[in-house]
Structures are given as C-alpha cells and as structure tokens.
Structure 1
Amino acid sequence: MIPRHAAPRLAELAGYYPIVAITGPRQSGKTTLARAVFAGKPYSSLEDPDVRAFAMGDPRGFLAQYPDGAIIDEAQRVPELFSYLQTRVDGERRMGLFVLTGSQQFGLMEGISQSLAGRVGLLHLLPFAYDEVGATRPNDSLEDWLWRGFYPPLFDRNIPPHVWFADYLATYVERDVRRLLQVRDLDAFHRFVLMCAARTGQLLNLSALAADCGITHNTAQAWIGVLEASYLVLRLAPFHRNFGKRLTKTPKLYFLDAGFAAWLAGVRGADELATGNLRGPIFETWVVSEFAKRRRNALRGEELYFWRDTAGHEIDLLVTRGEQVLAAVECKSGRTVAEDWFPPLARFSALADNPRRLLVYGGESGQPRTEATVFGWRTIGQALDFAFG
C-alpha cells in the first residue's frame, strides 16, 4: 500500500469521535485506507447482497457481531443502520468504535446528519496527491502525470488511463446517476460532463453551459451540484473582500483529477498536452487539486478562493484564514519563467497586506525571486508547505 497523508488525521479523529466516516469519489482508496489504519477491526461490506440483507433485516444482530466495532463499507446502502449505531455508541461511549466508508456522498451524509450528528469525525479522501506517488515514477514527465491523473487503480494495475477512465465514467453514469440521482436523460448528462471538462479552469457560466448542452439553467445547476457532491469537480468561489475594487461574483470550475479532466476533454495521450491549448487549464486544474487535497488530508481550516476584478486582474488561487489572505498563488504551465508572470502578484500583494506570493510553473527549477517564490512542478509539496505555513 502507498502511504496516504490522511492516515494520521484519520487515526486522530478516531480518538475524538465514536465513529469516523471516510467519504470521497469512487476508487479514491477509502477502503484501503480504513483497513490500513484500523487493521485490527473486522471488515464488512454492505455491497454484498447477503450482508446487506442481514443488516437491513436484523440491524441489532448485525452490529452485535462486532463487540469492539468494525469497518462498515458502503454504509449508506443500509440507512436504517444509522439509528442503531447511534444507540450503540451513545450507550458505550467508546471512541473510534466504528469506521464508515461511502462513495456516494448523498446517502452517507444524510444518514450522518439525521442520526449521528456530533458523533462522527469526517474525512474527505480524494485521489493521490503528487507527493504520495511521485517517487513511484520519478522519470515521468509533467505531461505523463497530467494525462494519467491520480486515481489509485492507475498505480496498482497495469491499465491504460484511457481504458480506465472510459470504464469509470460508464460506471459512474450508469450506477450512481441512474440509480441514485434519477437523472433520466443519460446522453444529455454525459454531454454535460464532457462540456464541463472542456471548461475546467474557467469561470462557470451556467447559462452558456446549459445552452450548449440543450438543458435548462436549473438542470445545469442541479447537475453541477451532483458532480460537486460526488467529488468530481470543485467550484472555487471568488474571494469576497473587495479591496476597493469591483469583483466578479462568478465561481471557477475545476475537476479534482487532472487526468480525468484531460480524458473527458478529448486528450488521448501525454504528447497532446505538450503544446496543445489544454495544457494551461489542465496544469492549473492539477495545481488547484493539489491544494484541495492538502487541505482535506490535513484537516486544515484554511479556505481556498480565487480573485478577479471587473478589469480582468486575477490571481489563480488564494489560501485564506477568515478575512486574511495567507498566500497568493499563480499557476503557469510554461517551462521557462517569464517576467510578465509577476506583476499580477505584486499588484495583489499591495492590496492584501503582503501575503506570501508563490508561482508554480511547468519547469523544473525553483527560484527565490523578489517578486514571488517560484516552485517547479516537481516541488509542488514544498509550495504547499510554504503556502499553508
């Protein structure tokens, strides 16, 4: 097993709460992480029909099998179980008793909010961070990483990314969307997902997106919510503090895995990212996703935003704590540092009380410049350390 940065935080949560829950996209490694951190606990999957029938028909008897708790995989498949878990943990008052995992956020979170509020420590697990897997393929280029992405099965199976992504999309659409979300026009939803990928790293214009897909604005809004709640995309909100400027109020859209976004947008090989027009948006998508992973893996309290005024001045990413901007980050996919990359950071720094300034680019070498600290893409982990402090 490749060690996960989230493992220490998960163990820490088990000392604070009687139940810990791990949620996230399908195939992000939730079960593997749970079984590694809580190796002494028995494991039960509610995906198995006979196990699910037992839990539904006799929830008390099902839980009685586990006097010292257990890992219950795909817990949302039996929502009736949550009330019995509440009774059990309230009576015993032991921390870290049960570990729940769930790929489908809606059912798991609904059960937690209704029956287990205040009793569950929650961890959102995304696919691998670069620092978790970079050493496994030290000779791969930036384009190789952006094209492959970071889902765990692409590292433990010898399967081409384009094959795995096609199956992943089909499974996600056919299983989660049809069965659980009642999206009836699957062709339209499929087209919608492709159109979203083509817009990764851009301002989210829902009206234009809906028109391009032949759906209503309300449907587009609902479907974006589906993708976001399933941990496939992130809506990055604009920073609300205006510094005396008129600001855009439109969020930006990012996929949480660069490889999946690239495949959905039609990229079929790493070489296509070397000079194609998707290189910049996919690189920016990757950088933003790495910041999102660090925040979730470490249970950080900081928030992520971008900043853009109506004159078009923009900073790609802000790390904030309340009203304070801790770091301003620019993402550039070019391989050579250019002088015109720095003025936006200097301009914003003058407005925002001199936050830490970072530039992450597609080259190899870092530079401690006066205008900003420059990090090559391979040192994204150092950039994260610097930004979060």
Structure 2
Amino acid sequence: MIKRQITEKLLLLSTKFPVVTITGPRQSGKTTIAKYVFSNYDYVSLENPDIRLLAVEDPKGFLQNHPDKCIIDEIQQVPELLSYIQTIVDNEKIKGRFILTGSQNLLLSEKVSQSLAGRTAIMRLLPLNCSELRQHHGFDKITYEEHIFKGSYPAIHNDNIKPGDFYPAYLETYIQRDVRKIQNIRNLMTFTTFIKLCAGRNGQIIDLSSLASDAGISINTAKEWISVLEASYIIFMLHPYYKNFSKRLIKTPKLYFYDTGLAAFLLGIENKEQLSTHYLKGGLFENHIILELLKQRYNSGKQTNIYYWRDNKKNEIDCIIDGATPKALEIKSGKTFTKEYLKMEKYWLRTTTFEKDSFSLVYGGDESFSFLGTKILGWRDFCEHLQ
C-alpha cells in the first residue's frame, strides 16, 4: 500500500474534533486510509444494502449498534444519520468519535452544514500525488505523458490495472450509481456526451453557452450538470485572481478535471503516444501541475489558494498562488526551455510591482535551473519542490 500524506493530519484532527469527515472522488482511497489510520475503530459501510436499509429505517438503532468509535463509510447514502450523529457527539463529547467518508462533495451538502457545523473537520482526499507515487517502482523513469495518461487512482498503481480497463468501468459506475443519486438525470447518454465535451474544454475558460449548444441542452441544464460534476469530484473550477487589482481582469473560471487519466480517457486517448501529439496535451499538462498544487493544499487540511490571471487584453498567467506575496507560475508542456516561455514575466512584474522571485516557470523537461534570476523547474522537480 502506498502511504498517503494525509495520514498524520487525520490523526491530529481526530484528537481535536468529535467527527472527522474524509471526502473526495470515488476510489481515491478514502476507505483504505480510514481503515489504516483508525484500525481500532468499528467499521460499517452504507454501500451494503442491508446495512443501509437498517440505517434508513432505524437510525437510532443503527448507531446504538456501534457504541464505540466507528468509521461510517459512504455517509452520503444515508444523510439522515447526520442529525443523530450530532446528538451523540454533543452528549458524549468524545474526540474522534466518528470517522465519516463520502464520495460526494459534502461541503456542498446542507445536511453537513446544518448538523455538523463546528463538530467535524473535513479533509479532502484526491488521487495520488507525485510524491506518493514515488513510492511506486519505476515512477521516476516515466515520462509526464505516461503519468498523465495513467492518471493517479490508487487501483491503477497498487493493483496494476490498465487505464483502458479502469476508466470505462469507473465512468460506468459513476454515471449509473452516483449521478442518479445526486440528481434525477433521465438522459444518461446525453450526460455522458456532456462529460466528454467538458474534457474537450479542459484548461479553458468555461463558456456555458457554447457547452450547452454542443450538448444540445439548455444553459440552465448545463449549469446544473456542471454542479453535479463538481459535487461528485469529477471536475473543479479554477477561479480568476483579481484581489486588489482593477476590474479589467476576467472573472470567469477555468475548467479542470480531478484526474488527468479520466480526462484523457474521455478525450479518446488510448496510449501515451497518442497523448504526445494530442492538441490538448498542453492543457492536460497544465491540469496535472494545478492538481499537484491542489493536492498539496488538501493533504495539509487547507483550502485552495490557487487561481489564474487573465485581463481583457488576453494577457494570461496560468497559475497564481495566493499568500502574503502572491506567486505567479507559468506552465509549459514543452520539454526544451526557451526564453519565450517567460514572456509574461515582465507583464506580471510591471502590473503588480512584486519582486522578481514572485514569478517562476514549470515546464515538461527534466532539468531545473535559474535563468537570469528566474526559477525554472522541471516537472518532476516541481512536484518535489512542493513538499
């Protein structure tokens, strides 16, 4: 089993909060990490139809069957339990009483907001990051094309499942089980087409009108379906950075996938060679780098601080990392550095008046170095640089 970076944070939070909730994409490793970190806890899965029926029909009796510390897997199956869990933790006042997991974005759930506000820590577990994958034999020898094509789901790396076998099954399970529970979508074929159209817009500023038109649905339906994909950890939005700057900046978000392997599959890419010449290779590489930043934040229990920058003259910087001094990061998939990659550096420094070290570049090559005082990071070194 590949050790997850979230481990120590989960242990710490279980000493501070009565409930710890682990949320994230289906098959990102939530159950595995919960069982590993809290191996002395009772465990119950609401995926089991008999157990789920008991929880629905007799929630008090269900919870009385687990008087000790307990992991409740897939809590979104029976959200009504949350009110009863609230009563228990308020009465018992025991830290780490419940560990909950869910494959829907529980931050979007009114039940959690109402019932467990102030009582639960929420950790998001995404698929494996590069540092975790370094534990896997051979990772340091693969190209970024192979890494992007494979994606980061634990089953692919732990169990050596081929992407061509994993992702079709993953998509089928997601659509048949998760989507129907989030929203009553009747035309699943059109919804599948919609997901593929989203993959074709990976790394791009989202245009709901164009997306709806191509899918043959209304703009309101497109908005609803985007929300479904966000709630179930298929896609996320990278919002523009415009704090303390003029209104000339674009305020529409960009669309990315939580896993590059799934995005590549949806694009019809069948191997790393096809990816090498694909028109969206740059967008997928950008997606990968953004994901590494996001995983670092989430593994530390922090909210995202990642944005992008684009003004009304189409000057764009791929990534802004917010902080006391915001950092600008340009992302280029090319494997050979060229000074043209830094053409936005002067614009950034002139517009913001920040210091030169606030701008850096990550590219698809292996070498890292400084160019005229600007930090240039190869894609592997960038991942290590985050740790």
Same-fold call, TM > 0.5?
yes
Residue aligning to 2:5: 5
**Identical aligned residues as a percent:** 43
Do structure 1's residue 102 and structure 2's residue 102 form an aligned pair? yes
Superposed CA offset, 1:89-125 (max 9, x none): 1111111111001113369833322222211110111
Q: Quick check: 201-210 or 66-75, which moved more?
A: 66-75
The 8 Å contact of residues 358 and 383 in structure 1, kept in 2 or not, is answered as no
Do structure 1's residue 275 and structure 2's residue 277 form an aligned pair? yes
Change (3 A) 1:16 1:109: farther
Do structure 1's residue 348 and structure 2's residue 348 form an aligned pair? yes
Change (3 A) 1:368 1:79: same
Superposed CA offset, 1:4-54 (max 9, x none): 111111112112110011111101100011111111111111111222223
Change (3 A) 1:13 1:51: same
Measure, in 1, the Cα distance between the counterparts of 2:215 and 2:50: 41
Measure, in 1, the Cα distance between the counterparts of 2:240 and 2:25: 25
What is the TM-score with the length of structure 2 in the denominator? 0.94
Superposed CA offset, 1:336-385 (max 9, x none): 11101112023213322236222111100101223521111111323425
Measure, in 1, the Cα distance between the counterparts of 2:40 and 2:144: 39
Residue aligning to 1:312: 314
Residue aligning to 2:52: 52
The 8 Å contact of residues 126 and 293 in structure 1, kept in 2 or not, is answered as yes
Residue aligning to 1:183: 185
Query: SS at the partner of 1:43?
Result: strand
Measure, in 2, the Cα distance between the counterparts of 1:377 and 1:9: 26
Measure, in 2, the Cα distance between the counterparts of 1:122 and 1:94: 17
Residue aligning to 1:87: 87
Cα offset, 1:143, TM superposition: 1.2
Q: Quick check: 154-163 or 18-27, which moved more?
A: 154-163
Measure, in 1, the Cα distance between the counterparts of 2:314 and 2:254: 14
- Aligned pairs for 1:1-389 (under 5 A) are 1-105=1-105, 109-136=109-136, 137=138, 138-241=140-243, 243-244=245-246, 246-301=248-303, 303-321=305-323, 324-352=324-352, 353-354=354-355, 356-385=358-387
Aligned residues: 383
Cα offset, 1:58, TM superposition: 3.0
Cα offset, 1:311, TM superposition: 1.2
Measure, in 2, the Cα distance between the counterparts of 1:366 and 1:18: 45
Task: Structure 2: state its 5+ residue gaps.
Answer: none
The 8 Å contact of residues 317 and 330 in structure 1, kept in 2 or not, is answered as yes
Query: What amino acid is the match of 1:332?
Result: K
What is the TM-score with the length of structure 1 in the denominator? 0.94
Measure, in 2, the Cα distance between the counterparts of 1:364 and 1:309: 31
Query: What amino acid is the match of 1:82?
Result: L
Cα RMSD over matched residues? 1.8
Regions of 4+ moved over 4 Å? none
Measure, in 2, the Cα distance between the counterparts of 1:4 and 1:275: 33
